[in-house]
Amino acid sequence: MKDFWNARYSQEAYAYGTAPNVFFKSRIDTLKPGRLLLPAEGEGRNAVYAASNGFQVSAYDWSEAACAKAAKLAEQHQVELDYQVCSLSDLTYPQATFDALAMVYVHFPEPIRTSNMKQLLALLKPGGSFIFEAFSENHPRYQAKNPEVGGPKEASFLYNLADLKTHLTGYHFEYEAQEETVLDEGAFHKGLAEVVRIHAIKP
């Protein structure tokens, strides 16, 4: 899997574009700048946008090629990122470090989803924002009509809103939806899709 992502991110073009994800932008724009964590951040489009708007951004991905592309984009925008090439298990941040945690198309398979979500949410401060967008359980029907929409093909990697909310007991929901959207993010997220979107505040 790491080889797949390194190959995708080794191309000159940015696989998912250089503009931030639309939902991520709409939510981060409402927040006071603080410390932000972006898991599996890829080529840095969301990290660079947030850093350009005053956030102190930490990010990680297991792809060396992704990190290199993120560094290049950050240099172009004259911002700094704390970007590590690692996996979740390698993180050493103390609990309650971050004012915001944003997961944009981070598709954990079901067998490790509960433990990974628990680890990540523990890094969020009380009162901090959790921002999430990823493909829904209905994604395969959209892929069948349009392969260019991208995303996982295995059902265990997809989400539904009700199950995701079980990881967020006690959170206040600013936004929650399982809804259709038209993606226009580089070469690999193009077309009509159904996504799960959440903006929730940790108690």
pLDDT tens column, 84-109: 999 999 999 999 999 999 999 999 99
The CATH number of residue 47's host domain is 3.40.50.150
Number of domains forming the structure of the chain: 1
Structural domain range at position 166: 2-201
Q: Report d(CA 158, CA 79) in Å as an integer.
A: 33
Residue 2 has pLDDT above 90, yes or no: no
Residue 1 has pLDDT above 90, yes or no: no
Residue 46 has pLDDT above 90, yes or no: yes
Q: What is the pLDDT of residues 149-187, one digit of tens each?
A: 999 999 999 999 999 999 999 999 999 999 999 999 999
pLDDT at 193: 98
For the whole model, what pTM was predicted?
0.97
| CB within 8 Å of 89: residues ≥ 6 apart | none
